[in-house]
Amino acid sequence: MTAYVVTGTGTGVGKTFTTCALLHTARGRGQQVRGLKPVISGWDAADAQSDTAQLIRASGSTQTVETTSLWRFAAPLSPHRAAAREHQSIDLPALTAWTRAQIQPGALTLIEGVGGVMAPLSDRTTTLDWMAALGLPVIFVTGSYLGTLSHTLTALAALHARGLNVAALVMNETHGSAVTLDEAMQGLAPFITQIPLRIAQPLVSSWCEAEAIHALEI
């Protein structure tokens, strides 16, 4: 069994982009793959570019919306507030059990989180609690925006405090940032030497073209 959780500093840093690029590469090598986003907010069934829709395409399998994202909420809010809008809640044991059940022996399974490392799932639990319950290695995604160093190091410290293994770090170039990708990665580099795999991905038009991520051997 090979499974990872993909998380990051927050929304918009390229978690789905990174996950899809890794799935695309693994499929090209002949691997069986499975991309999951168990919880999604801002859900629109008609959106062909939703995170869920992209993961299904990248997986190239018979996955459905229901087997990719079971907890779907329309409001573009934190998961616990989006769920509350629909008079629902996210139960951590149920989420953990469902996620584990989707991991298939012999397949590379990438489980994309929602929001950042500590996005609330309920009034008492966060995505960090979910990741800790799963106990899987983490692929951490960040951007090259101004402020990324503090955000990244804070998130990594939270993961480390819960005993989670960060197997790889991907920095995606942030469009329009005052900081270049190289500058951001150089500033972060001295603090992440303990992470085995560290790559910087320049801006490209599609995850099919993300060569830096494609070279990441997970």
**Distance of alpha carbon 67 from alpha carbon 64, whole angstroms:** 5
In sequence order, what E strands does the chain have?
2-8, 32-36, 39-41, 71-73, 107-112, 138-143, 166-172, 197-201
Q: Residue 126: what are its φ and ψ, rounded to 5°?
A: -130, 175
**Distance of alpha carbon 184 from alpha carbon 113, whole angstroms:** 24
15 is catalytic: no
Write the CA distances from 202 to 49, 148, 173, 206, integer angstroms. 21, 16, 5, 11
Exactly one of 15, 37, 72, 198 is catalytic; which is it?
37
Query: Among all residues, which ones are annotated catalytic?
Result: 37
